[in-house]
Amino acid sequence: MALVLSHAVIVTVDARDRVLCDHDLRIDGTTISAIGPGGSLARPGDRVIDCANGLVMPGFVNTHTHATLGLFRGLADDKTRAFWPEGGYRVSGQERFGEADYRRSLADACAEFLLNGVTCIADRVAAMDAYAPIIEASGLRASVGSTLVDLAGPADWGPTERLIERYGTDPARSRIVAGIAPHALDTCSDALLRECGERARRAGARVYLHVAQCQAEIDAIRRRGHGGALSCLRCAGLTGPDVVAAHAIYLDRDEEEGWCRDGTAICHCPASNLKIEARTLPLNRYADEVPVGLGTDWTASNNAMDMFWEMRLAGLVGKMQADDPTVLPTARMLRLATLDGARVLGIDHLVGSVEVGKRADLVVLDLNQPEMRPLHDPISNIVHSASPRSVRDVLVDGEIRVRGGKLPVPPEAWTS
C-alpha cells in the first residue's frame, strides 16, 4: 500500500526551485516514487492524505543540536562572555539533573523537533551510545556523535566505537549514523584531533566539532603555537567537506579565504552566537563557497529549537552584515535550511528536496493558518511568515511522525 499526498502545493527545493501547484506525491515505502498532477497518482488500496489546503516541503535539517541538554532552557540569558567557563559550556545548577532527566529531555527535544518540522538532526553529547536509541525511537533521521575530550585524561573512545558498531556510517543503510565528535579545538589536544581525523577516514565517518566559537578558545590554541583556528584544523588534518565545524565566528579575513579554499563545512547557529557572543558568521561570505547548514545549538544559548526562526534570523542578519538587502534571497535561505544542511551531513543524495527517488522526509504546512494567507509566493511565506504552528504533518522515511499538529506516539514511549 502506498501513501499519496493529494492536491498539494509542492515546494521542491530542486535545482530550479520549482513550485508545483495542485500536485500529487506518491510514496512507496520510504521513497518518493512519483510526482504528478493533482488526482492522478492514487490507486485503489492506497492511503490518501488530502493536501488541498497543504503545502509540501522538504523537512528541515538541523545541523547542530544538543537535545539531551534541553532542560537548561532559560538558565543562561543575558550573560557576559566570561560567564561561560573556559574549556566548556556548563550552566550553574546543572548538577541537580540526573540520567533520567537527560533521557526525558532528549525525548522531549525530539518531539519538539518533529512538531517544528525538523526531520533530521546532527546531535552530540557525552556517552551518546546510551542516548541514541531514544533518537532512533522518535523516528528522526540523525547523525550522532559522542563528545571526545582529553583535557583531564585520555579520551574515552568506547561510546564512539559502540555507536559505529551499532549504526554504522552509511546513511543509505541506516536512518541513524555515527560520526566522530571531538568537542572543540581548546578541549582536545592536537594529538586527539589528529586521531579523530584518522579514525574518521578509516570508518568513513564525518568529524563534527565546535570551532572558533569564542575568543578564549582562540587564545588557548595560540598558546599551543597555532596562529588561529584554521591553522589548528589544518595541522590536525581536519579540513574539507567531511569535517563539520559549528560556529566559525572567530576567523580573521585571511582565515576566511583559507577556509573557503579548504571547503570545510559550517553549521551556522545565528541565534546561539548572537545570544552568547553578540557576534555572527558573515553568512553571505561562505554560503556559496563551502557547505553551510543551519543549527539551533542548545537551549541554554538559543533557546528555541525552531528552524523557521533560525532561517529567518540568518537571512535578515546576513543581509545586515553584507549591507545589501538583495543578498541571501528567500529561495536561498530555504535551501540553506534543507538541502544545504543535508549536504553538510553528507545525505543530500537521500534527502533535502522533494524529488522522485529521494526519501520521503517531508513537512506539510497548513495553508488554512492565517500566516500562510495569501499565498502569492509559497517560498516567501515559508521563509518570512511561517512558524511551527504552521506545521500540520511530518513524515520521515515515509512514516507519519506528526499528523494534524500532534504526535501519534507520546515521547514517553521512546525512553522505555
- Which range, of 109-117, 294-302, 325-333, 377-385, touches Zn ion by CB under 5 A? 294-302
**CA torsion, ordered 194, 195, 196, 198, to nearest 10 deg:** 90
For residues 190 and 235, what is the distance between their CA atoms, to the nearest angstrom? 8
Residue number, 55 or 269, with CB nearest to Zn ion: 269
Task: Please list every residue from 20 through 59 that binds Zn ion, using CB under 5 A.
Answer: none
For residues 301 and 297, what is the distance between their CA atoms, to the nearest angstrom? 7
Q: Which residue, among 177, 167, 236, has the nearest Cα to 206 in the 3D structure?
A: 177
Residue number, 62 or 284, with CB nearest to Zn ion: 62
Residue number, 296 or 369, with CB nearest to Zn ion: 296
In the complex, minimum distance from the CB of residue 72 to Zn ion, in angstroms, rounded to a whole number: 12
- Which range, of 94-102, 290-298, 327-335, 344-352, touches Zn ion by CB under 5 A? 290-298
Q: Which residue is nearest to Zn ion (CB)?
A: 297
Residue number, 269 or 311, with CB nearest to Zn ion: 269
- Which range, of 29-37, 51-59, 69-77, 296-304, touches Zn ion by CB under 5 A? 296-304
- Which range, of 95-103, 235-243, 297-305, 376-384, touches Zn ion by CB under 5 A? 297-305
In the complex, minimum distance from the CB of residue 81 to Zn ion, in angstroms, rounded to a whole number: 16
240: helix, coil or strand?
A: coil
In the complex, minimum distance from the CB of residue 29 to Zn ion, in angstroms, rounded to a whole number: 34
Residue number, 136 or 297, with CB nearest to Zn ion: 297
Measure the N-to-C terminal CA separation of the chain; round to a whole number of Å. Answer: 30
In the complex, minimum distance from the CB of residue 298 to Zn ion, in angstroms, rounded to a whole number: 6
Task: Please list every residue from 319 through 358 that binds Zn ion, using CB under 5 A.
Answer: none
Count of positions on this chain that bind Zn ion (CB under 5 A): 1
For 9, the grid coordinates are 502545493
The answer to whether 228 and 238 are in contact (CB under 8 A) is no
For residues 121 and 61, what is the distance between their CA atoms, to the nearest angstrom? 6
Residue number, 6 or 146, with CB nearest to Zn ion: 146
Cell 514517553 locates to: 412
What residues have CB less than 8 Å from 363, skipping those under 6 apart?
Answer: 56, 57, 58, 59, 60, 117, 119, 391, 393, 394, 395
In the complex, minimum distance from the CB of residue 244 to Zn ion, in angstroms, rounded to a whole number: 11
- Which range, of 112-120, 149-157, 158-166, 289-297, touches Zn ion by CB under 5 A? 289-297
In the complex, minimum distance from the CB of residue 79 to Zn ion, in angstroms, rounded to a whole number: 16
For residues 374 and 381, what is the distance between their CA atoms, to the nearest angstrom? 9
**What are the distances in angstroms from CA 166 to CA 133, 156, 163, 176, 178?**
10, 17, 5, 9, 9
In the complex, minimum distance from the CB of residue 210 to Zn ion, in angstroms, rounded to a whole number: 5
Residue number, 297 or 361, with CB nearest to Zn ion: 297
> In a 10 Å sphere around its CB, with 0-12 CB exposed, 13-18 middle and 19+ buried, how is residue 100 labelled?
exposed
In the complex, minimum distance from the CB of residue 276 to Zn ion, in angstroms, rounded to a whole number: 11
Residue number, 24 or 297, with CB nearest to Zn ion: 297
The answer to whether 57 and 13 are in contact (CB under 8 A) is yes
Contact residues for Zn ion, defined by CB under 5 A: 297
